[in-house]
Amino acid sequence: MRQLRISLPNNRYRRIAGLVLGALVGLVFGLVSQLGDRFALPGVPLYQPPFGPPGNIIMVTLAAAFLGVLVAWPVSGIKGTFLVAAGSAAAIIAVSLLGAKDLSGKGLVQTVAGIALLLPFWGMLVPVLGALRWVIDALEEAQRDRRPLWRRVPATLALLLVVGLVGLTTLYPERGRDLLRRMHATLVTAQTTGDIPPAMEPVDRFSAHLDDSFELSWEGQSIERFRIPRPGRNFDTHSAVIARYASGWSLVCVYITAEEPPLCRSFDVLPR
């Protein structure tokens, strides 16, 4: 009779693999999401909160490494995936609720909505973290079976490729990039020539901030919060470019179409 060779789970290796793989996943996602628009819009100063591209990449990498360790920690892959997905969903909701200044009025509505979104967020995170745990388990099994390195790489590369593709979905669409280029060209021309563009003439104190440095962002949703009067035609395609100046002053320009002059307004504090 042949004696079966049974190998026990290698907890230490699995957790280290979770740390390293999680960091790689975060690094790939961070690089794509933070640098993709900069490659597509060379020379355009983009607003990328909260820490700018380098800080954001580091933050995402560390957060993903931490999640990788948490997912890999239990021996049971199902337990690790479901518990970490629940904890991550709760953390996402909690962070979003911190933006509410109080728990009255709109803040209370946001709290109730956040609690209602907890289950859907959990459901979305389960397959993502499940894929991460599956690759971690595959690496641990390959290590226990002493498989060659080249047989361990494909699953990892496939996961990183999927993460990179997901990162691409966070980038600005082409129409947003076009408006960012137009806004940047308009503001740079105004700084160079000293002439105020016609769209900026109604804007309070635009000339006072003409030479200040600025960062741009594009928004295609919830632009009604800027309370800029606009025509009702092609309402669904309206979008806004926001210029945030180093002084704290902001300029918001709503574009009805790319060819028409934008409708602009200044803000000392941007509405949330």
In this predicted structure, what is the pLDDT of residue 25? 94
CB atoms inside a 10 Å sphere around CB 88: 21
Domain boundaries defined on the chain: 11-168, 174-267
pLDDT-derived band at 141, boundaries 50, 70, 90:
confident
Taking a C-beta distance cutoff of 8 angstroms, is the pair 136, 153 a contact? Answer: no
The β-bridge partners of 252 are: 242, 265
Alpha helices by DSSP H, listed for 145-224, are 153-168, 174-193
Window from 111-125, 204-218, 250-264 with minimum mean pLDDT: 111-125
* CB neighbour list of residue 215: distance below 8 Å, 6 or more residues apart: 45, 46, 47, 48, 243, 244
Window from 89-93, 102-106, 199-203, 206-210 with minimum mean pLDDT: 102-106
3-state secondary structure of 177: helix
The average pLDDT across 181-192 equals 95
pLDDT tens track for 59-103: 999 989 998 998 998 888 777 787 777 777 676 666 555 554 444
Q: How does DSSP assign 94-133, residue by residue?
A: HHHHTT-S-SSTHHHHHHHHHHHTHHHHHHHHHHHHHHHH
The percentage of the chain sitting over the pLDDT mark of 90, rounded to a whole number, equals 51
Q: Could you tell me the CA-to-CA distances from 31 to 37, 60, 61 in Å, in that order? A: 10, 10, 10
Q: Could you tell me the CA-to-CA distances from 56 to 29, 37, 122, 128 in Å, in that order? A: 11, 14, 24, 21
In this predicted structure, what is the pLDDT of residue 204? 85
pLDDT tens track for 19-49: 999 999 999 999 999 999 999 999 999 999 9
* CB neighbour list of residue 141: distance below 8 Å, 6 or more residues apart: none
To the nearest whole number, what is the mean pLDDT of the chain?
Answer: 85
Q: Could you tell me the CA-to-CA distances from 61 to 36, 46, 134, 261 in Å, in that order? A: 16, 21, 20, 41
pLDDT tens track for 221-260: 889 999 999 888 888 889 999 999 999 999 999 999 988 9
pLDDT-derived band at 105, boundaries 50, 70, 90:
very low
| Residues in the chain, total | 272
**Angle, vertex CA 28, rays to CA 25 and CA 33, nearest 5:** 120
In this predicted structure, what is the pLDDT of residue 256? 93
